[in-house]
Amino acid sequence: MRITRRELAFSSLAATSTLAMASTTNTYVVIGAGVFGAWTAYSLRRSGHSVVLIDQYGPANERASSGGETRIIRASYGKDEVYTRMAVRSLVLWNAFFERSGRDLLSHTGVLWIANPENAYAKQSRETLRRVGVPFDDLTHDDVTRRYPQIAIEEGAGAIFEPESGALMARQAVQAVISQFVKDGGTYQLAAAQTLSGHGHLDAIETSQGRIAADAYIFACGAWLGKVLPSVLGGRIFPTRQEVFFFGIPPGDTRFQPPQMPIWIDFGDNRGMYGFPDLESRGFKVAFDLHGPAIDPDHANRFPTPTKIEEARQYVADRFPALAQSPIIGSRVCQYENTSNGDFVIDRHPDFDNVWICGGGSGHGFKHGPAVGEYTAARVTGGSAPPIQPRFSLASKGTEQHRSVV
């Protein structure tokens, strides 16, 4: 099937009266319906442009990084104030979207960072949160054990508690954004874009469903960016295998559900663990943030490994003794789509004047979907705000991994 620019413009006319119109409307194709592509398409459409969003497997599909049940939205980012500010902005935009769409897909669990009070990242986070004006509680060991007796933390450890942070229902939230985008007059289509090569000005992209022509193209392809844009991102996106487990809670036990149990991120331990309370009765979610081995997002089987099962069991027994004998009632294998240091890559393709890259969420991107969409839409359309962020440039991305953003 071939979609022309005129058809694109026409298909969007019906919804434009309620939108904030741009002075000149263009046609855009967004490739990839994960959280970055969904919010970019939504933002462009809200500005009055004609937009086609495509995905090879479907919105927030099972292979996509955005396809999980839940993702944390939190403001603590150590000294990386840019991400604290983006998280704050995104929370505003998520809430506005939930109100507009009538879907409430944020669970207000709060986020607990377990850390030794002298932990450098925790100290920097406290400073940044104060500077930006994000509320938090600074908890001592006694405070934590009094509030959360079901968590066993080491003597001397404390915590930062962010009361306004929580869990986004990830897959549902992305699908809700796309559904609203379509109601607003955008076009969604299941189609796979072919690998892009060449240079100059791109007249149309080739897809499994035919050519699609537009003024500009945004590739928001997550872990696939290196495959679809090999000349610039092959070797610059590092997909890693990440395993997630759901432990069954004891019958009738409310200690592992909100509000008794918040989301927790464990800096008091070198195993790099974090997790969620029992949401939607799925179980107590425990995950590894340390990067796993390389993964092919198309072809990998997604069964958990015996090693990770054992590590997760051991960790749960240490930190949550009441769950030491709990069965594992579910699991997921997902991938992080890491850049060399964990900063996003949102920039123009160096070989095409009308092709853009939006990705590199690096295991922390989901919460930022709204701010990323807003930023990308502004870059692509030449809009003024927000200012250009040098850390998102392609030039700043290396071919060796040195993770610095957590």
In the complex, which residues of this chain contact ligand FAD (CB under 6 A)? 31-37, 54-57, 61, 64-66, 68, 71-72, 192-193, 220-224, 228, 242, 244, 287, 334-336, 359, 361, 363-367
Strands 263-266 and 273-276: antiparallel
How many Cα neighbours within 13 Å face the side chain of 8? 26
Cα separation, 164 vs 106, whole angstroms: 11
CB 182 within 8 A of CB 87: no
Smallest gap from residue 250 Cβ to ligand FAD (A): 25
Smallest gap from residue 404 Cβ to ligand FAD (A): 16
Cα separation, 15 vs 394, whole angstroms: 35
DSSP three-state, residue 368:
helix
Smallest gap from residue 216 Cβ to ligand FAD (A): 16
46: its two tokens: 């809200």
Among residues 216, 242, 236, 371, the alpha carbon closest in space to that of 302 is found at 242
CB 379 within 8 A of CB 388: yes
How many Cα neighbours within 13 Å face the side chain of 355? 24
Nearer to ligand FAD, 117 or 330 (CB): 330
CB 313 within 8 A of CB 303: no
Nearer to ligand FAD, 25 or 405 (CB): 405
Nearer to ligand FAD, 25 or 232 (CB): 232
Smallest gap from residue 380 Cβ to ligand FAD (A): 16
Smallest gap from residue 244 Cβ to ligand FAD (A): 5
Smallest gap from residue 308 Cβ to ligand FAD (A): 12
Looking at the DSSP bridge assignments, the partners of residue 216 are: 28
Nearer to ligand FAD, 265 or 323 (CB): 265
Nearer to ligand FAD, 12 or 66 (CB): 66
Nearer to ligand FAD, 76 or 335 (CB): 335
